[in-house]
Amino acid sequence: MVEYKVMKVRVIILPKKGLLDPEGRAVKEMLLDGGFDVKDVKVGKVVELEVGEGTDIKALVERYLVNPLVEEYVIE
Amino acid sequence: MRFAVCVFPGSNCDYDTYYVIRDLLGQEVSFVDHNTKRLDAFDCVVLPGGFSFGDYLRAGVLASKTPLGNAIVEYAQKGGLVLGICNGFQILTELHLLPGALLKNENLTFLCKDVYLRVENNSLPFTRKFEKGEVIKLPIAHGEGRYYVPEEELRSMEERGQIVLRYCDEKGNINSKANPNGSISNIAGVCNKEGNVFGLMPHPERACEDLLGYRDGIILWHSLVA
């Protein structure tokens, strides 16, 4: 049997800096109301992938998962 | 004219749009599903509202990656008329046929109400039956309608007349109070540089009959067949 290697990848997607993030703002207000000393909150999403070795992750993320106009991302 | 109404899994304004085109405009109309690869047979392609693919990942993105998404790009690049309403507008931005993006409403609530709009460009096939500066009333129904485009691009869009509709008050004043969702520069509808692709968040197909209390939506449809 051919051994097929799988990579686990986690992509963290956040609203771009400077862009209004109403979800982050709402969460921040809730935390401030709760008495926490919070300076900034951003709400984004996480996509976990299991992909074959050699997959072009950058292309996958930039072409399909992220809208570069409004989002930035980190690959883990 | 022969119209196509695009049906993605989760489209839900497709029948309203079909009804307006067939019964009120008296034109030929067909549904085309998300696996459709060619649109050559049509004179106008309409992307209706709804929640294509459940709005998963980002509103409109999954629909934009279907065979029909590719066919719409090819059709638009040949100069075909493409109209995107609400989710259809979101899909057109994800296809990069229209500039900008549609983000979550500033107040985070789903908005379902009537709005006033000022017609900023009446030279398009979609708007030629309106007066320039005319104030019209249409319903909106969306959670992700906050139009965003970088400032620099916004300026060149304005110069080229790509801003087609702006949210305004009853008298046509553009101000933040009349902006329901936080869209940049009160933008409710934009077109591409060539003027053959138009997207708007309000629903003209829901505003076509006196019985429903509207008269302005049908004018957009009449513009198309004029």
- With CB atoms and an 8 Å threshold, state whether A20 touches B182: yes
- Answer whether B11's CB lies under 8 Å from B87's CB: yes
Distance CA A26, CA B147 (A): 20
pLDDT digits (tens, 9 = 90+) for B34-50: 999 999 999 999 999 99
* Chain-chain contact of A69 with B148 (C-beta, under 8 angstroms): yes
Asked if B105's CB is within 8 angstroms of A22's CB, the reply is yes
**Nearest C-alpha neighbor of B123 from the set B17, B194, B47:** B194
Nearest CB to A22; choose among B61, B108, B150: B108
**pLDDT for the residue A2:** 64
Angle at A48 between CA A47 and CA A53, to 5 degrees: 125
Predicted confidence band of residue A5 (pLDDT cuts 50, 70, 90): confident
- What does the pLDDT read at residue A1? 60
Q: What is the predicted pLDDT for the residue at A4?
A: 74
Q: How many residues does chain A have?
A: 76
CA separation, residue A36 to residues A25, A33, A44, B142, B218 (Å): 14, 7, 21, 33, 52
CB spacing of B101 vs A64 below 8 angstroms: no
What pLDDT, in 10s, does the model give residues B57-90? 999 999 999 999 999 999 999 999 999 999 999 9
DSSP β-ladder status, B44-47 and B187-191: unpaired
With a threshold of 0.90, tell me whether the complex ipTM lies above it.
no
Q: What secondary structure does DSSP assign to B50-110, as a single string?
A: B-GGGG-SSTTHHHHTSHHHHHHHHHHHTT-EEEEETHHHHHHHHTTSSSSEEE--TT-SP
Task: Determine the residue of chain A that is closest to B181 in CA distance.
Answer: A22
* pLDDT given for residue B226 in this prediction: 85
Q: Does A64 touch chain B (CB under 8 A)?
A: yes
Binning pLDDT at 50, 70 and 90, where does residue A44 land? very high
Task: Give the span between the Cα atoms of B4 and B11, in whole angstroms.
Answer: 14
Identify whether B153 is a catalytic site residue: no
pLDDT given at position A31? 96
Find residues 106-135 of chain B whose CB sits inside 8 Å of chain A.
106-108
Residue B86 is among the residues annotated as catalytic for this protein: yes
Helix residue ranges per DSSP H, chain B = 14-19, 61-64, 67-77, 87-94, 151-159, 217-225
Residue A6 Cα, gap to closest chain B Cα (Å):
23
Who contacts A5 (Cβ-Cβ below 8 Å, separation ≥6)? A52, A53
Q: Chain B: nearest CA to A22, how far in angstroms? A: 6
- CB contact under 8 Å between B101 and A69, yes or no, is yes
Residues 6+ apart with CB under 8 A from B223: B124, B125, B126, B127, B128, B129, B130
Residue type, B226: A
Please tell me the distance from the alpha carbon of residue B33 to that of residue B12, in angstroms, as a whole number.
13
B96 is catalytic: no
- Note the maximum CA span of chain A: 58
Q: What Å distances lie between residue A20 and A6, B89, B103, B105, B114, CA to CA?
A: 37, 21, 9, 10, 25
**Positions of chain B with pLDDT lower than 70, given as ranges:** none
